[in-house]
Amino acid sequence: MTEIRDIDAVVFDVLGTLVDEPGGLRAHIRALLPTADDGTVDELLALWGSHVETEQARVVRGIRPYANSEFIEAEAARRVADHAGIDDPEAVAHLVTAGRRLFPWGDSVAGLERIARHYPVLGLSNASRSALLRLDAHAGLRWHQVLSAEEVQAYKPTPEVYRLAVDVAGSPAERVLMVAAHAWDLRGAQAVGMRTAYVRRPVGDPPQDSDTFDGHFGNLDELAAALTEG
C-alpha cells in the first residue's frame, strides 16, 4: 500500500469512482424493460454510454457548444427509449433523470467520511450542478464542497476543470490529490500538476504500464489508510 504525504486537500471523481454509474443506469433500463433479455439491456446501456462519451468529447474538441450533462443524458435517454420502442412520456421522463439516482460503492460513504476527518474533501464531476445535488443526496455522499465541470463550461479532461478544483482548494496543485477510478481522468489531473491516486473499480479505466500515478489502491479503505495512518 502506497503512503501519500504532503497533501492539503483530496479531490474525488464521482461517476464510476464513488457511484456505480453503469450498474445504476442498467437497473433503470431494466426497470423500463422488465421482460428484455440481458443482451438487449446491455446493448441499450452501451448506446447510452456511447452517446454521452461522444457528445462530451465533441464539446472538449470544440465541435459542439457546451451543453451540460443533464441535457446530453436526456438525449441519450431518448435515444434508448426510441431504440426500445418506448413512447410513454412518463416512463421516458423517469429514464431521463436516471443519472440522479445511482448507488454508491460499498466503501464510498464511510471512506469519504474517514478521509474528511483529516483533509478538506471535494467532489469534481462532469455531472451538472443540479444532477450532483440530487445524486449526492440519493447516494449519501458527504462533501466539504462538490464542484461541477459546468462551472467552467467544459468537461474533463479539459485542464480548466482540474484548475477549478485547485483554485477552490487554495493550495498549490502539487499539494492537491485527485482520486479516480479512471486513468484518463488522472492523466488530466497530472497535466495541471496535481497528485494522483488510482482506486480500482469494476467499471473503471485501469492504468497502463506507462502511467506513473502517486498511488494505486484496491478500494477506498486502502486509500484512507494511506492518507490517515502512519
One domain, residues 199 and 127: yes
One domain, residues 78 and 168: no
Model confidence over 119-158: pLDDT tens digits? 999 999 999 999 999 999 999 999 999 999 999 999 999 9
One domain, residues 181 and 122: yes
Within a domain: 4: no
| Rounded-to-integer distance, Cα 221 and Cα 149, Å | 27
Average pLDDT, the chain: 95
Q: Any bridge partners for residue 145, and if so which? A: 122
Within a domain: 70: yes
One domain, residues 203 and 110: yes
Domains of the chain: total: 2
Confidence of residue 5 (pLDDT cuts 50, 70, 90): confident
Within a domain: 56: yes
One domain, residues 64 and 111: no
Last-in-domain residue among 66, 100, 134? 100
One domain, residues 190 and 203: yes
One domain, residues 90 and 129: no
pLDDT-above-70 percentage for the chain: 98
CATH number (domain holding residue 125): 3.40.50.1000
One domain, residues 131 and 70: no
Stretch 23-51: mean pLDDT: 95
Last-in-domain residue among 46, 77, 100? 100
One domain, residues 59 and 80: yes
- Identify the domain containing residue 50 by its residue range: 21-100
One domain, residues 165 and 86: no
CATH number (domain holding residue 27): 1.10.150
Last-in-domain residue among 100, 132, 148? 100
pTM for the predicted model, two decimal places: 0.95
Within a domain: 89: yes
One domain, residues 15 and 33: no
| Rounded-to-integer distance, Cα 141 and Cα 169, Å | 19
Say if residue 230's pLDDT is above 70.
no
Within a domain: 2: no
Sign of CA dihedral 53, 58, 60, 65: negative
What is residue 229's predicted lDDT score, i.e. its pLDDT?
A: 81
What is residue 4's predicted lDDT score, i.e. its pLDDT?
A: 82
One domain, residues 151 and 195: yes
Within a domain: 50: yes
Model confidence over 161-215: pLDDT tens digits? 999 999 999 999 999 999 999 999 999 999 999 999 999 999 989 999 999 999 9
Confidence of residue 48 (pLDDT cuts 50, 70, 90): very high
